[in-house]
Amino acid sequence: MNPAPELRSYSVDALAARTGKELGVSSWYLIDQARIDAFAEVTQDHQFIHVDPVRAQKTPFGGTIAHGFLTLSLLSVMGQEAQPTIEGAQMGINYGFDRVRFLSPVKAGSRVRGRFVLSRVSEARQGEIDIAWAASVEIEGEERPALKADWLNRFYLAQAGKEQSAC
């Protein structure tokens, strides 16, 4: 398990002023065969390149590789670890992606980490803030990243004078 980072919190305006800046890098996460196999079970994607080390050894990759969607799914934990919090936000959600590209395979046994550059802060409607990140997942020791994505998050701000309830 990775250590908890020091939390940083910004007001919406202070965060918006940091547009274009890198605001976080996560810890390294091991992508071992056990993690790949568990992901294959959950998604029912048992393509041999992911789960059969003997057959995969005969491919240009020289062994098994992580599913692209496994690498993409790790953005959630990486983002929670590396991205700052927003003052007054009750909750945040994954709002989707404008673009995702899988650039390099993640070989079993590799370590990856997320890097987050703030692209945009905008008000969707009263009390809802959209944040866009230029996210990348690096592979330790590799020049090219595993993926690059334009990732969207939405945050719901506490409304002054309104009753707050737990979700």
Domain boundaries, the chain: 9-30+67-157
pLDDT value for 86:
94
The model carries a pTM of 0.87
Quote the DSSP letter at residue 160: T
- The separation between the first and the last C-alpha atoms of the chain, rounded to the nearest angstrom, is 27
* Structure confidence at residue 6 as a pLDDT band (50, 70, 90): low
* Structure confidence at residue 166 as a pLDDT band (50, 70, 90): very low
Name the nearest CA neighbour of 66 among 38, 88, 94. 38
Residue in the block written with tokens 């007001």: 11
Domain 9-30+67-157 of CATH type 3.40.50.2000: no
pLDDT beyond 50 at 128: yes
pLDDT beyond 50 at 75: yes
What is the rounded distance in angstroms from the CA atom of residue 66 to the CA atom of residue 30?
Answer: 11
What is the rounded distance in angstroms from the CA atom of residue 39 to the CA atom of residue 150?
Answer: 23
pLDDT value for 147:
98
* Structure confidence at residue 77 as a pLDDT band (50, 70, 90): very high
